[in-house]
Structure 1
Amino acid sequence: MTLERAFHFCSLLLAAVAFTGLVLTGEIPSGLAVLGLAALAVTIARTIGWGGDRLVDRLVGLPTSVWTALLVAAFVSFGIDLLLISRDILPAAVHFLILLMVVKLFHLRHRKDFLQLYAISLSELLATAALTVDLWYAGVFVAYVFAAIWTLILYHLRNESEEAHKGPSPIARPVTRQFFWTTNGIAVGSFCLTLVIFFLIPRIGTGFFQKNRTELIRTSGFSEKVDLGVIGAVKLDPTVVMRIEFPDVRGPVQNALYFRGAAYDTYDGRSWGNRSATRRTLERTPDGVFLVSTPQAAAAAESGGLRQEILIEALDTTVLFGASFVESIKGGFQIVQVDGVGGLYLPFPTSARFQYSVRSVPDRLREPDRTTESVSYPDLIRQRFLQLPDVGSRVGALAREVAGDARTPYERARAVERHLQQKYQYSLDVSTAVSASPVEDFLFTRKTGYCEHYATAMVVMLRTLGIPARLVTGFLPGVWNDFGNYYSVRQQDAHAWVEVYFPGSGWVTFDPTPSVPSAAPSLFSRVGKVVDSIRLKWDRYVVQYSFRDQMAAAKSLREGGEKVRTEVSGLLSALTRGLASAKAWLAGSARAYGWILVGGLAAGALVVGLVLVWRGRGGGARQADPRTARQVAAIQLYERMLRILEAQGLLKSPGATPLEFARQVARERGEAARYVEPLTGLYCRVRFGQAPFSSDDDRQARELLAGLQAARR
């Protein structure tokens, strides 16, 4: 392929890569997508010689007035699209760019036309970045960088050729292997430089043109009122809702984790609500941290807390999740609200995935609460968390029967939890028909259900025993990704559990739902983990990369430099101490054994002197380097060949190498080449390649010289 054809191909490839990114976003109308793909396919096919010449030539031959009219029509369509159809500047601008690209593909006549096509392709790439943050954009971006480097280099060469010839001058030279690899090397270097610039540019916030996600992931179980059975609808949905990292922990967290969302204190017999739904705004510290006051906060210093980095998808709820119990939260938001049961909320749902940090303090039952039989609860706790509708006498009787001989509230709670785990069957195949008393129906009739039924039954049974309890909804940890060291939480990990109040410990987590065995990992699941891990790294270090991350990276570099400097300083100090010790040892040895050292040095000097005298008298002559002798013989034979050729009219120029001169002889005197080429090869092998020079080589060389000398006689 010539450089001229490569220039046209790379220009079209640049536009094709940018347009492909737009199509992959799924935001392009099918009609425009087909139009753009058809235009690119026809023009690329013509460029590489696969056909399409007649159609393209016919379109290229249209008058300039036609192209001007098409551009005006595209601009008018942009106005109509902006005002009446899309009513949004980003999609309208994208549609306009596609129309401009199609027009320009068939009107590449002058230098400015190519520059305009490059500007359109760059705008399309930027629009793609505004429309999506998915992982595949990385591939599109890398392909665009390589295509852009090739295009700009070839454009520069073409431009230089035109200026040198004072007019259009196609580059007829082919694309050589050296040019190919050099250009790719420049592209790789440019990409690496781009990465460095990306991580160094200060971050000031999200992009102005960033398109918000229009379809939020629908969740269940986190609204102000939760009907029994709503969580079961999502237990088969594998959609990822969040990914959770633990910066201070290597490997899966050993303790049971419950990522708390919403809590409910009021049960009306069929659904849960929250009488304390009024929310207050948390105070924000100067460094952006929101502190949450919980009964567990006092234990923070003892437990150390559990830090989490949570990347959450765009959900249809304002709930903020974190491992029980959240003590502080920090992220890119200005307002965080808390309700009366410890639920954390944003003022409104976000329209794109975001990241935040959480520090949690796990619940811990104090020994007095474990052993105390008679417990007095605060009035507010009794009023809010002992409320019960008419659930029937059988529920209370069952609770008392299960509690049996348990003496403390803790033992009664554990007895109810064990009873539900062991005597009932977990199943998602539960009728959604509304029952007059769902708890009675679960406990005495069906005896099967899922987490909501278990948790509701336990709360009701504990309240009949006079033990304050509430229902909590959230997520279990999900699947541990050992490639990325994080938990991948899906819709199917939605869960409901129970929190029981103890005066000295606060709220403590209980889970009456029996555990369900997880599926054995397969090759497909492991591949999925790798892909999901790469996707998390993309979101974490590219999409969500922030000024805080830059400061953390700078701090890490500074601390690393301090560590290296400390280690080097310690090494130098140890070396200095070692040298001082060696010096002291030598000084002591010299004092103790000085006469021995002097005698040894004198004997050594005498031996060295005798060797030098022996070599000077000719002993070394017998050890002459054989390699030098070989080279001398080869030089003498080669110089004799040059003298023979000079006598025959062929003179070697001073700047010519032996191989170049051999090719000159082959061109000018072909009959002499069969003598000159083997002689030259032998000379180069011995003179420069350190090859041996045997007696057979010497005999063969002399025969070749004799043949060369007789060639013109």
Structure 2
Amino acid sequence: MTDERTSRDRCSWHYLVLLGLLCQGFACQQWLMALVFGGLWWWAIRASRPVTRVPEPVEAVLLTVCLWVAYQLAPRVGIVWFASVSNALVLYQLLRLAERAGRRKRYFSAAVAVTQIAVGAQAVFDYRFALILIGALALLPATLRELEASRHGVVIRPRAALPRWREAALLFFFMGAFFVLFPRTHVSTYRSRLGMVHGGQQREIDMGESADDEGDLMVFRIEGEDIGYLRCLALDVFDGSTWRASPKMYREVGRPHSNERDRAVHRQVKVLAHKVLRTALPVDGAVLDMRGDYTQWPILAEHGGAMMPLPLRRPSTYYYWTRPGPLVCSLSPDQRRRYTAVPEVSAGVRQWTMSTVGEGLGPREQAERLVQRFRTEFTYQLGAPVLRSDTALEEFLLVRKEGHCGRYASALSALLRTRNIPARVVLGYLPSEENAFGGFYNVRTRHAHAWSEAWFEDEGWVTLDATPVGESIPRERRRLSLTLYEWVEFVWYSKIVEFGFAEQIRLAGGITHTMQAALTTVLGTRAGLVLAVVLVGALTVVRKLRDRYPRKGAGTSRQRAAFARNFYGRFLRLLRREHHVKRASQTPLEFLSGLRGAEYPRGEDAEVVTRQFCRVRYAESPLSDVEEAEIGAALDRIRRRSE
């Protein structure tokens, strides 16, 4: 009777199953699948029929076969095994809804729903994750309470099924502990929420070409202090108009796995548009160590930056420790020839250079003179006219005197080479959009930048930026609403979505350090000991006062439960005198059924006490004065018989 009613009238179990099916649909990275599973849930409830008993061995075999097939298909369709197995359990859930499953099967179905919720949480990263969490906190305790009440033949009230604040807090604590101990695992179906980004980072610079705004696509976010020029690639071959990177620039010169982090600063980078970066990992300074959630090991290339052997396949997070400043290294004879090679320049270019650097200056002073002249006499301009490829350098220096950052980096590097100073063009990003709340930088495609690097004895590769200060270079100001939104988004993705092993280590270290400091403060000083004693005493007094003088309306459910245990316990003690003992495995209704089978003379009184106990204890229904008097009279009649 109870099972039929709770199947016909949708209860918390139905909605918990629905939440699991929706999460499974979200795990497929498609709203369509979530809508399909939701429609199948509605159809299964509408088409429900009386319980049909399937032999348990047959059911176990069918379920095992379905799970095995799903496990085997997982690598073929490109998803992780637990997501594929969870898909196979969708059919199991629909069958349970359609057949009006009994209590035991509903318990197992609830466990399956929780599993599907956990799988869906691996692929849901936006506001839906918070909605799923709230739904699970509300539906799971309610489902368990309803299933427990059904054991005693009680239909629980919807309001009584809602979780109490202590239960919700305890469940939230265990969910948080599970989240910390078992970080999120990316399923292979995960795609960037930014979509497919075609093209990629620029790999060459033509001085003659014009340049437009690069757009507003968010490429990555970086967190740290004193962040400077973020390099991705360097160009070392110049043909008079175009700079390109030779294969030697990608040559591995080391691995970023040094434990020497003295005077190093820490950075955290969240890559969003991985197809823009391809293999590049933007870094600044001299990188000492790197960690991340990537599956490849990064390398340090000759261009001074970090890169992956293969292109990035998904958005990822990496951390690195660096020493800001020049890249200290020596140059081989072959490298020196390569970094000073330059085509013959015109007489006008040579005269312009000599008028700038003069005579008798060292390499560093000559470079600074060139940078200063570009910054004071030239103009930064996107969309500047196209230059002729065969005379691009001369036309830029002597005629146009305006252009984008690529022209300035190309011209400066070429002029340095004419002075026999090793130089190259570096491509990367110059962060200028700082979030005032989070202390991180949003780096977009329009923040792409080009600058020069010159090699000096005893210094190494030094950054030189000849680009005049333009509109896109100063620190940007964002609206307060956008700044706050981006901070919340950054915290969500960096602290929740991308929570992994590295975050586990830092969290554990922070907790350990805090506990040690607290214990040292409390146990190491007399004031700390006194404070601890006062706090313990205050908590004890507050608890005693709360128990003695409860708030109005507080503890109502506890009082009902205590009252129910009181009169039902008295009922069991009276029956024990007549050798009717309730086993621990029996429910109240099962014990009542046993009394009827034993033809207990006061069966009607026993039924009154049992039914009222189940209603008060599990349905949390209040008793009227008449009902309390009825229970008391029934217990008195049972007592007189037992005497």
> Structure 1-normalised TM-score?
0.61
**Is 1:308 equivalent to 2:291 in the alignment?**
no
Q: Secondary structure at the match of 1:127?
A: helix
In 2, are the aligned partners of 1:385 and 1:469 still within 8 Å (CA)?
yes
- Equivalence map 1:310-329=2 (5 Å): 310-313=269-272, 315-316=274-275, 317-329=278-290
Report if aligned partners of 2:340, 2:417 keep a CA contact under 8 Å in 1: yes
In the alignment, what sits opposite 2:500? 545
Match of 1:419 in 2: 373
Secondary structure in 1 matching 2:434:
strand
Q: Answer whether contact 2:405 2:449 (CA < 8 A) is retained.
A: yes
Once residues 504 and 74 of structure 2 are traced to their aligned partners in structure 1, the CA distance between those partners, rounded to angstroms, is: 41
The question of 1:409 aligning with 2:388 is answered: no
Deviation at 1:471, TM superposition (A): 0.9
Q: Percent identity?
A: 21
C-alpha distance in structure 2 between counterparts of 1:230 and 1:195, whole Å: 54
Within-5 A mapping of 1:131-210: 131-134=123-126, 136-161=128-153, 171-176=154-159, 179=160, 182-199=163-180, 201=181, 207=185
CA RMSD in angstroms, aligned pairs only: 4.6
Match of 1:347 in 2: 309
Give 2:228's aligned residue: 257
1:154 offset after TM fit, Å? 1.3
Residues 342, 174 of structure 1: CA spacing in aligned structure 2 closer, same or farther, 3 A cutoff?
A: closer
Deviation track 1:336-390 (CA, whole Å, cap 9, x = no partner) reads 3233332322222332333333222222699xxxxxxxxx997445412111135
1:351 maps to amino acid: R
Which residue of structure 2 aligns with residue 611 of structure 1?
none
CA separation of 1:232 and 1:85: change in aligned 2, threshold 3 A: farther
The alpha carbon displacement at 1:10 in A equals 1.5
Aligned to 2:36: 35
Q: 1 CA distance for matches of 2:322 and 2:237?
A: 26
Alignment of 1:606-621 (within 5 A): none
Q: Give the Å deviation of 1:513.
A: 1.9
Q: In the aligned structure 2, how far is the partner of 1:128 from the partner of 1:464?
A: 60
Contact in 2 for aligned 1:264/1:272 (Cα 8 Å): yes
- The C-alpha deviation readout for 1:378-435, integer Å capped at 9, x for no partner, is 7445412111135544433333333357833333322322333333333433568984
Q: CA deviation at 1:504?
A: 2.0
Q: How far has the Cα of 1:257 moved from its partner?
A: 0.8
- The 1:187–1:229 alpha-carbon spacing in structure 2 relative to 1, beyond 3 Å, is farther
Name the amino acid aligned to 1:508: V
1:509 shift after superposition: 0.9
* Correspondence for 2:300: 338
Question: Residue type of the partner of 2:17?
Answer: A
State the partner residue of 1:701: none
The structure 1 residue matched to 2:485, chosen from 519, 523, 528, is: 528
Contact 2:380 2:467 in 1 (8 A): yes
Q: For the Cα contact (< 8 Å) 1:472–1:496, is it kept in 2?
A: yes
Residue 399 in structure 1 maps to residue 353 in structure 2: yes
Summarize the Cα distance change of 1:566–1:208 in structure 2 as closer, same or farther, 3 Å threshold.
closer
Partner of 2:10, secondary structure, is helix
Could you tell me which amino acid in structure 2 is paired with residue 531 of structure 1?
A: V
Cα gap change, 1:99 to 1:456, in 2 (>3 Å) = farther
State the Cα deviation string for residues 647-672 of structure 1 (Å, max 9, x = none): xxxxxxxxxxxxxxxx99xx9xxxxx
The separation in 2 between residues aligned to 1:408 and 1:25, in whole angstroms, is 62
Q: After TM superposition, list the pairs within 5 Å mapping 1:271-310 onto structure 2.
A: 271-274=243-246, 276-277=248-249, 279-280=251-252, 282=254, 289=258, 304-310=263-269
Alignment of 1:219-618 (within 5 A): 220-221=200-201, 223=203, 235-241=214-220, 243-246=221-224, 253=226, 257-268=228-239, 269-274=241-246, 276-277=248-249, 279-280=251-252, 282=254, 289=258, 304-313=263-272, 315-316=274-275, 317-331=278-292, 335-363=297-325, 379-380=333-334, 382-390=336-344, 392-404=346-358, 407-430=361-384, 435-444=389-398, 446-517=400-471, 519-536=476-493, 539-540=494-495, 543-546=498-501, 548-568=502-522, 571-572=525-526
CA contact (8 A) 1:281 1:336 kept: no
Please tell me whether the aligned partners of residues 240 and 490 of structure 1 are also in contact (alpha carbons under 8 angstroms): yes
SS at match of 1:429: coil
Q: 1:567 to 1:144 in 2, by over 3 A?
A: closer
Q: 2:66, 2:208 → 1: CA distance?
A: 53
In structure 2, distance between residues paired with 1:428 and 1:540: 37
Amino acid corresponding to residue 174 of structure 2 in structure 1:
L
1:8 corresponds to 2:10: yes
Q: Residue 155 of structure 1: CA displacement? A: 1.4
Change (3 A) 1:396 1:20: farther
Aligned residue type for 1:154: E
Partner SS state of residue 416, structure 1? helix
* Bigger Rg, structure 1 or 2: 1
Q: Is the 8 A contact 1:28 1:95 kept in 2?
A: no
Equivalents in 2 of 1:377, 1:459: separation in Å? 17
- Structure 1: runs of 5+ lacking an equivalent: 45-55, 162-170, 292-299, 367-375, 577-662, 668-713
What secondary structure sits across from 1:563 in the alignment?
helix
For the 8 Å contact 1:312–1:355, the answer to whether it is kept is yes
Secondary structure class of the residue paired with 1:471:
strand
Quote the Cα distance in structure 1 between the aligned partners of 2:229 and 2:255.
Answer: 25
C-alpha distance 148-438 of structure 1, shift in aligned 2 (>3 A) = farther
Are positions 1:124 and 2:116 aligned together?
yes
Displacement of 1:136 in angstroms is 3.9
Contact 1:234-1:494 within 8 A present in 2 as well: no
User: In 2 relative to 1, CA 210–383 (structure 1 residues): closer, same or farther, beyond 3 Å?
Assistant: same
Alpha carbons 1:459, 1:471 under 8 Å: kept: yes
Q: Is the 8 A contact 2:210 2:385 kept in 1?
A: no
Contact kept? 1:474, 1:496, Cα under 8 Å: yes
User: Equivalent residue for 1:107?
Assistant: 99
8 Å CA contact retained: 1:266, 1:275: no
Larger RCO, structure (CA 8 Å, separation 6 or more): 2
Amino acid at match of 1:188: A
Whether the 8 Å contact between 1:231 and 1:494 is mirrored in structure 2 is: no
1:498–1:509 CA contact under 8 A, matched in 2: yes
Give the C-alpha shift of residue 472 in structure 1.
0.9
- SS of the aligned residue for 2:443 comes to strand
After TM superposition, give the deviation of residue 458 of structure 1 in Å: 1.3
Contiguous gaps of at least 5 residues in structure 2 = 531-624, 630-643
